[in-house]
Amino acid sequence: MSDHAETSSAGAANRDGLEAFVYDDKIVRMFGWATIIWGVVAFLVGVIIAVQLAFPQAGLGISFLSFGRLRPLHTNAAIFAFAGNAVFAAVYYSTQRLCKARMWSDLLSRLHFWGWQLIIVSAALTLPLGITQGKE
């Protein structure tokens, strides 16, 4: 087999006249894993409040485990943490491929990821502690 045939069969990146695109898929994986983790958290909080609906004494009289404080945590985790991370993963994945360009700054992508996770964690901590206006 000739050298030319070997390099051509290796993929489109080796062919003359074609551009090779390198995407930032690490940020997509980061948001993907965060989606899975926050989805599990939202599911588990949902199970806890479902048990509390069936058995009201399941809260053990602890204020931050009460139904009224865990229900907003469940809905916010499902909407903002689970769905929000999934949307951001899809945006980072599709934008790079539609524009055929890598994201402008890996640092800004990481700041976006960690900033969003910080917002979610702060909400997850303050809602059960009662530091909220109680409005949705």
Kindly tell me if the per-residue pLDDT of 51 is higher than 80: yes
Note the pLDDT of residue 90.
Answer: 96
Give the mean model confidence (pLDDT) for residues 21-26. 84
Mean pLDDT calculated for residue range 115-129? 90
**Higher-scoring residue by pLDDT: 120, 67:** 120
| Residue 97 pLDDT > 80 | yes
pLDDT band, very low/low/confident/very high, at 9 (cuts 50, 70, 90): very low
Q: What is the DSSP string of 51-114?
A: HHHH-GGGGTT-GGGSHHHHHHHHHHIIIIIIIHHHHHHHHHHHHHHHHTS--S-HHHHHHHHH
Instruction: For the chain, give the longest Cα–Cα distance.
Output: 77
